[in-house]
């Protein structure tokens, strides 16, 4: 039986759940799971509904739009595997974790390729029989480097780009090319400790919590809508190397969690905020 996910985002009014569910019933579709949320400050309604049955997509969406009678965003997503391209530089912990999850079937995605501006991780990726695209950034401008990446990625038509510790700042032009499709991970010391070796800086300040944040990328790289976060407690016995090791563990878990939420169509974007079901 065909399974789909219906996503509805619109201004909140009375009877929205009734209207949508009534249309689904008329189409002989079964609701397997439903979640909704009202942002009262913004007067916005969000609903994610898992449905099963034979679907006439065009007709169903037309009727839902007509029934809501308001400016709405309605999306019907299949539960087919989505495709991703992973970007990496030299650090292997996030990339390695995603490769292992993919290899074991725990990542519901097709990894189309790994893109990197270094060759350091190529041997690791070769073990998983996934294409490794090295696009050297030395001797060329950022614009030229990004154009080469775009030229490689666009024909592959990825659903998401995953920055697995990809240590290059993306231009607004690049971000616009993949709007709301780029997921990044970083330690949660930002913006308190930026630049070289933030863990050493944090150690010198006696930090007691280490965390990680996964988010969509916007023009301000580390200020996009947050998808997932987590923290762990540490104490004065940790060296900065211990802190870094603990931080890497948190980063790979948070990135994988955020990616799974995206792959399962559990994220709504509104302004610079996410609603996650």
Among this protein's residues, is 265 annotated catalytic?
Answer: no
Transcribe 134-200 into DSSP letters: E---TTS-HHHHHHHHHHHHGGG--SEEEESS--SPPPHHHHHHTTT-EEEEEETTTTTS-SS-HHH
> Angle, nearest 10°, between helix axes 240-263 and 93-104?
40
Q: Is 114 helix (H, G, I), strand (E, B) or coil?
A: strand
CA atoms within 13 A on the CB side of 257: 18
Catalytic-labelled residue, pool 222, 230, 242, 249:
222
Cβ density class 194-225: b for 16+ within 10 Å, e for less: eeeebbebbbeeebeebbbbbbbbbeebeebb
Give the 3-state secondary structure of residue 71.
coil
Q: Which residues are catalytic?
A: 222
């Amino acid at each position: 039986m065909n399974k789909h996910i219906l996503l509805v985002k619109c201004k909140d009014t009375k009877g929205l759940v009734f209207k949508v569910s009534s249309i689904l019933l008329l189409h002989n579709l079964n609701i397997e799971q439903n979640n909704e949320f009202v942002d009262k400050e913004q007067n916005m309604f969000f609903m994610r509904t898992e449905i099963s049955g034979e679907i006439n997509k065009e007709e169903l969406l037309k009727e839902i739009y007509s029934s809501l009678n308001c400016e709405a965003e309605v999306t019907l997503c299949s539960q087919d595997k989505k495709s991703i391209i992973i970007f990496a530089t030299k650090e292997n912990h996030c990339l390695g974790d995603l490769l292992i999850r993919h290899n074991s079937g725990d990542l519901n995605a097709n990894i189309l390729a790994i893109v990197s501006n270094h060759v350091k991780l190529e041997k690791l990726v070769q073990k998983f029989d996934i294409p490794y695209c090295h696009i050297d950034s030395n001797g060329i401008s950022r614009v030229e480097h990004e154009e080469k990446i775009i030229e490689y990625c666009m024909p592959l038509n990825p659903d998401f780009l995953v920055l697995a510790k990809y240590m290059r700042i993306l231009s607004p032009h690049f971000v616009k090319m993949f709007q709301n499709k780029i997921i990044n991970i970083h330690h949660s010391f930002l913006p308190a400790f930026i630049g070289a070796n933030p863990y050493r800086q944090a150690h010198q300040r006696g930090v007691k919590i280490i965390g990680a944040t996964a988010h969509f990328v916007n023009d301000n790289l580390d200020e996009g809508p947050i998808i997932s976060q987590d923290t762990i407690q540490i104490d004065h016995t940790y060296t900065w190397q211990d802190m870094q090791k603990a931080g890497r563990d948190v980063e790979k878990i948070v990135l994988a969690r955020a990616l799974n939420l995206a792959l399962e169509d559990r994220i709504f974007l509104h302004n610079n905020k996410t609603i996650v079901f």
